[in-house]
């Protein structure tokens, strides 16, 4: 007998939909609107906690990228200002 993927529950937080599915022995927690943002583990609680860790890592990455972009913009504005003088 083949087990099918089964949606356990979904919930929304400010238009962000989190889906928890059962797939064989794993629970998969995923963000519906964001491709490839998911986590899986043996229990529902661990899958949700792991998804939280994934989102934290993504936020750290984007915050670091934003810091670098702001630094580049600041350097370019300084250069532009020096040419204006």
Under 8 Å between Cβ of 24 and 3: yes
What's the pLDDT tens digit per position in 35-82?
889 999 999 999 999 999 999 999 999 999 999 999 999 999 988 877
pLDDT in tens, 1-12: 445 556 555 656
Residues 6+ apart with CB under 8 A from 7: 19, 20, 21
């Amino acid at each position: 007998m083949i087990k099918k993927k089964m949606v356990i529950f979904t919930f929304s937080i400010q238009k962000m939909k989190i889906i928890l599915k059962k797939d064989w022995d794993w629970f998969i927690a995923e963000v519906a609107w964001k491709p490839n943002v998911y986590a899986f583990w043996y229990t529902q609680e661990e899958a949700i906690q792991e998804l939280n860790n994934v989102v934290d890592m993504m936020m750290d990455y984007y915050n670091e990228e934003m810091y670098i972009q702001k630094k580049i913009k600041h350097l370019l504005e300084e250069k532009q200002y020096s040419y204006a003088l």
